[in-house]
Amino acid sequence: MKKLTLEQKLFLVGFRPDAESHLRIIDQDKCRQCEMKPCTYICPVNTYRWENDQITVFFEGCLECGACRIACAECENLEWSYPRGGFGVNYRTG
Amino acid sequence: MDGAESAGGGALIVPETVVQSALMDGERVIGVHTGRPDGDLYADVVIAADGVNSLLAQNVGLRDEIPPDQVAAAVKEVITLPRETIEDRFNITGDQGVTIELYADATWGMPGTAFIYTNRDSLSVGCGALLSQLMERSVQPNDLLERFKSHPVVAPLLEGGETREYLAHLIPEGGLHGLPKLSTHGMLVVGDAAMLVNSMHREGSNLAMTSAKFAAEAVLRAKERNDFSAGSLSHYDGLLRDSHIYKDLYKYRNMTRFFETHPEFFGLYPDLLNEAAREMLTVDGESKRAKQRKIFWDAMRKRKPWTTAIDFFKAWRSIA
């Protein structure tokens, strides 16, 4: 079976991205001090990336699972909510 | 919807609307605040069925944030395959289907499950593990899934298939100890929002439906009495407690904690079993008795038999 990259898998999922992110890092300084940065690997779609000395949030492909919110719960540095009504992920197969 | 209308009741589904918080009057929940303009909805009872992340239950103070060792992160692919291929490969006909569940190496030694479910013309292939373990071992869930899919026992089952969708979900794993407060003045919590999952049996959908039925019964009863207080609505808690739901969760209440603290069951013990089977069933000139001895001493070196016996006894206790 052909192996797909994560980006290719995301192309298969229906999204209606909002203009603004529904995920927000509160204080990037806390991220700089965070050793493990679990958000950068725990997210099933690599929403959070460490680049240019900060976390960038690629919210458009978010599957709204909530893993990041729990991973960052210790620092309480992630404002997590569902996207606005009508926006976000739209699964076809369930 | 049709059912509700024909029963003389009414149900209004309001799509594309996010519930942002509960409306409170003191300690009483009196409705919800949504993201729509003028979007406040008032109700005698709010039933929180907003899934494992239930921000609503948290908002009202019925539960705290989920600890990472009480939830599993799982990812899944839906892979299309022709129906005839599925029937051939999985040995089914007509309306039959198959569920295959895998442990141990399938989830890289972490407490969790990998699964393959047959659908009509597709397979649901997924992998999930306890979030605290994924965090500790720095594992990306998609990598876990790809590793599983590429295993020589799994790959042939998926051959020729095409991925149609990729999904992710958190699954409650806290069992009985992880349950939030289930009722309060003007509110009930059902399904994943109430962390009602029997992870030993992978039962979540049915517990959700049954708990929703109980919630409805509790609300109808409250309506008759015009009493939506916590006391009245706690009839819901009683219905859950008297049902198989509570009994099942009670039975397995120690399971998650046990397997989290005994990784041998996902690593060493399956490995020993595999090695023993391979040694015993390989014909290489050595006598079976000699092989038996070899297996025994190999196991002894890796784990004292007394420790093994205690481990299995405790495991039995945690699920019986």
Dump pLDDT digits (tens) for A50-85.
Answer: 999 999 999 999 999 999 999 999 999 999 999 999
Q: What is the rounded average pLDDT of the residues A28-49?
A: 96
pLDDT score of B124: 97
Of the pLDDT bands very low, low, confident and very high (cuts 50, 70, 90), residue A15 is very high
Contacts of A92 in chain B (CB under 8 A): 164-165
Q: Does residue A22 sit within a domain?
A: yes
Average pLDDT over residues B294-306: 89
Distance CA B294, CA B279 (A): 9
In a domain, A58, yes or no: yes
Please report whether residue A91 resides in a domain. Answer: no
**A76 is a domain residue:** yes
CATH number at A43 reads: 3.30.70.20
Please, which residues 56-115 of chain B have a Cβ atom closer than 8 Å to chain A? Answer: 65-68, 71, 73, 75, 77-79
pLDDT digits (tens, 9 = 90+) for B119-137: 999 999 999 999 999 999 9
What is the structure's pLDDT at B8? 58
Give a yes or no: residue A8 inside a domain: no
Residue of chain B nearest A13, judged by CA positions = B165
What would the pLDDT profile of B19-69 be if each residue is shown by its tens digit? 999 999 999 999 999 999 999 999 999 999 999 999 999 999 999 999 999
| Residues whose CB falls within 8 Å of the CB of residue A74, separated by 6 or more in sequence, listed in order | none
Q: State the ipTM, two decimals.
A: 0.96
Residue A59, helix vs strand vs coil: helix
List CB contacts (< 8 A) between B16 and chain A: 85-86
What is the side-by-side strand order in the sheet with B112-118?
B99-102, B112-118, B122-130, B71-80, B162-172
Mean pLDDT across chain A: 95
Share of chain A above pLDDT 70, in %: 99
Closest-CA distance, B53 to chain A, in angstroms, reads 7
Supply the pLDDT for residue B2.
Answer: 42
Greater confidence, B258 or B3? B258
Nearest Cα of chain A lies from the Cα of B296 at a distance, in angstroms, of: 40
pLDDT higher than 70, residue B186: yes
Residue B319 has a pLDDT of: 86
Task: Count structural domains, chain A.
Answer: 1
Pick from B77, B140, B170: which is nearest to A65 by CB? B170
Q: What average pLDDT does the segment B67-77 reach?
A: 97
Residue B18 to residues A83, A89, B40, B78, Cα–Cα distance (Å): 8, 13, 11, 27
> Is residue A49 included in any domain, yes or no?
yes
CA distance A30 to chain B (A): 18
Q: Closest partner residue to B166 among A9, A42, A81, by Cβ?
A: A9
Report the distance separating Cα B134 and Cα B150, nearest Å: 19
Instruction: Give A-chain residues touching B165 at CB under 8 angstroms.
Output: 12-13, 91-93
CA distance B183 to chain A (A): 23
Q: What mean pLDDT comes out for the span B160-183?
A: 96
Would you call B131 an interface residue with chain A, using a CB distance cutoff of 8 Å? yes
**Are the Cβ atoms of B165 and A92 closer than 8 angstroms?**
yes
d(CA A84, CA B20): 10
| Shortest alpha-carbon distance between residue A92 and chain B (Å) | 8
- Structure confidence at residue B10 as a pLDDT band (50, 70, 90): confident
The residues, ordered by sequence, that sit 6+ positions from B242 with a Cβ below 8 Å of its Cβ are none
CA A45, distance to chain mean position in Å, is 7
Is residue A3 in a domain?
Answer: no
Structural domain boundaries, residue A41: 14-85
Show the tokens assigned to B234: 């706690």
Closest A-chain CA to B138: A41
Task: At B307, list the tokens.
Answer: 């420790």
